[in-house]
Structure 1
Amino acid sequence: MNIKCIIIDDNEIAKKNLKTILNSYGFIEIAGEFSNGVEAIDYINYLKPDVVFLDTEIKNISGFDIIDKISATIKPLFVFVSSNNECASKAFDYFAFDFITKPFEKERLNKTIEKIQEYKRKEELIKVQSSLEDILSIVKGNENSECKKINIKSGNKIYFLEPDSIKYITASGYYIEIFTEDNKKFLLRESLASIHSRINSNKFIRVHRSTIINSDFIEEIISSNYGETDVKIKDTKATFRVSKGYKKDFQEYMGVK
């Protein structure tokens, strides 16, 4: 199993140390190393590496800004390598795969590499969406229809879900989980933004950076005295908090204040 990675760090000593350790693994290919985060963005979008090792603080851009600006549908795993422990919680808010504190020992990096290998093994069980385009063209039906079936691979089976059957979708690390009205759950490696655009239905509203809800399945909207808003899903115990960044759009969409 070959793993293609990129290093982004403007500390040359730290970058050299990391490169030396990574080169000791025969299955890791260092496809690029950058001190300039802006230059790295286009390279990541083009090369689509498996893993990006990056510092949280680079001279011309932060590691978090780099993640925000990457346009690739399937993003690489991000491993933050930083001397700033205070950035750890924010890193995991950005679904960082791991966070390593500088200076680090090879034993600590070994654990990260083992996690990456295990992740890649599991990833082989997850469908690559582009490989099913020809199948979709046959089964998706009317090209002018607003809602087209969503193809999902689970084990050795491929499912084609009607968007109307999806209750909600949540982000879970580098995967998304799709929950349907027949109480099934599907795991897929794709971003929320990407699945939202593929569904192409105005019934789906984003309430959080990690949650999209089918408005047909909203049972209750609960407002607290502290200005917080929660959404309860029909026929489930699932309740989701509407984050501040999505609250205005959600209220306008639902016609509530």
Structure 2
Amino acid sequence: MTKSHTQNLSVNHYICGDDTPFPKFASAVRKAGMTSVGVTRAAIYEMGIKDLARCLNDEGLGVSSLNSAGYFTLGDPNPVQYSNQEMVEFAAELSADVLCVITGGLGTPSILLGDAHKIVEEGFSELAEYAASAGISLGLEPIYPADILTKGCINSCAHGLKIVEPYGNAKLILDLYHSWWDPDLPRLLRDQLDKIALLQICNPRFENGLAVGREPLLSGGLDRVELQKIVTQPNYSGKWELEIFNRDLKGSDPVTIVNQFPDEFHRCEES
């Protein structure tokens, strides 16, 4: 992989467990030739925003995404609690490319889908206005339909586009785990790259026809031909952010996965 292409790659901090300090993760990303990371609430809680920003600056790393704001329907389920306003302020302090927005699910027992959509539209409008005042871009992430109760009630690319369309500071974050199934994904990648703030990638792991976890690019259920169609987008100039959760690693060393990512991405391109 060329140096310039490697610099378009990023890794999300979600790959780390409690036993991998953020500075170790950041150093691994930099040593692998990449120039940005996805930052999580856990990283802010671990280091504090000032020391986190200093660490990133010392490693020469930008922030491809800050994760996450939103959670409009059910309230914030994260163990580390920050308000949406605080997340916008953190995004500004870190000069993040985009602040990821997770809409929230329907719950159990569930609220009506139409009511949930209205709550999301109103909440997103308010957040977009506040983010615009701080110069922050939002990335709405459509969520895999199987997670509609627990994580997100905006599930298709088309619906996500409809929500972000009125706002000049809002686009989509497309996560391959959540959107691999969407029939509009190829068209969006071909014709509407200007609507995509970030592409988050992994290879979904499937059981009984459902995506149930995340794997490195060469390990999951999508074959290389399918992956090649996604990662070979000549007109896409944004970041490719590997997003795998620590629970998906099953004991594997996150630093090893970080080190392997550029080569695996390159091999997918050439499949």
Query: Structure 2-normalised TM-score?
Result: 0.27
Structure of larger gyration radius: 1
- The structure carrying a bigger strand percent of its residues is 1
Larger RCO: 1 or 2 (CA < 8 Å, sep 6+): 2
- The structure carrying a bigger helix percent of its residues is 2
Query: Structure 1-normalised TM-score?
Result: 0.28
